[in-house]
């Protein structure tokens, strides 16, 4: 199945998303309004890291190498999410690192992997 977006556009989209996520996670924390959604912050982490995995998987996917790529991408993004939390905890005045954020990031990455694999199986 032909790709709707060119390979270069996919790579730039993933890079742009990665930069935006990095800035958002390291920027001084705003005073968010209270929400009735339980663990809204964790759901946000899960969603962001799902999308991040999916964008990178789309940008880097090569037929017959998807499994190896997926493992490397999962490891790289878990490492990235963990490092972000360490930086928040040690260098940020208004943010703190949180193991539950790392866990939400990891679940999000795995969700992105599942969605990507389903999409790949449905593509001929």
Q: Biggest alpha carbon distance in the chain?
A: 50
DSSP states of the chain = ---SS-HHHHHHHHHHHHHHHHHHHHSPPP-PPP-SSTTHHHHHHHHHHHHHHHHHHHHH--TT-HHHHHHHHHHHHHHHHHHHHHHHHHH-SS----HHHHHHHHHHHHHHHHHHHHHHHH--
In tens, the pLDDT along 107-122 reads 999 999 999 989 888 8
pLDDT in tens, 74-120: 999 999 999 999 999 898 777 888 999 999 999 999 999 999 989 88
The Cα–Cα gap between 68 and 51 comes to 19
Residue 13 pLDDT: 96
pTM of the model: 0.85
How many Cα atoms within 13 Å fall on the side-chain side of residue 102? 16
pLDDT tens-digit readout, 37-48: 788 889 999 999
Tell me the percentage of the chain whose pLDDT exceeds 90: 57
């Amino acid at each position: 199945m032909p790709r709707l977006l060119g390979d270069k556009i996919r790579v730039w989209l993933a890079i742009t998303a990665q930069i935006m996520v990095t800035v958002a996670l390291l920027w001084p924390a705003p005073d968010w309004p209270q929400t009735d959604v339980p663990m809204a912050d964790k759901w946000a982490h899960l969603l962001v890291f799902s999308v991040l995995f999916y964008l990178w998987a789309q940008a880097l996917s090569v037929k017959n190498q998807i499994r190896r790529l997926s493992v490397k991408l999962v490891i790289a993004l878990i490492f990235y999410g963990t490092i972000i939390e360490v930086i928040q905890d040690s260098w940020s005045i208004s943010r703190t690192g949180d193991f539950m954020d790392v866990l939400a990031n990891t679940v999000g990455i795995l969700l992105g992997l599942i969605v990507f694999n389903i999409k790949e199986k449905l593509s001929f």
